[in-house]
Amino acid sequence: MPDGSRRGRRFLKLDRLQPFFDFIDVGGSVKPGTYKLAGQVRPYPRRAFSDGDSELSLGELGLTSKPEALFMELV
pLDDT tens for residues 48-75? 888 889 899 988 888 876 777 788 888 8
Measure the CA–CA gap between 68 and 75, rounded to whole angstroms. Answer: 22
Dihedral class, residue 33 (left if φ above 0, else alpha if ψ from -120 to 50, else beta)? left
Task: State mean pLDDT over 41-47.
Answer: 63
- Identify which has the larger pLDDT, 32 or 1: 32
User: The pTM is what?
Assistant: 0.72
Question: Is the Cα torsion angle 7, 47, 51, 14 positive or negative in sign?
Answer: negative
- pLDDT class for 16, splitting at 50, 70, 90? very high
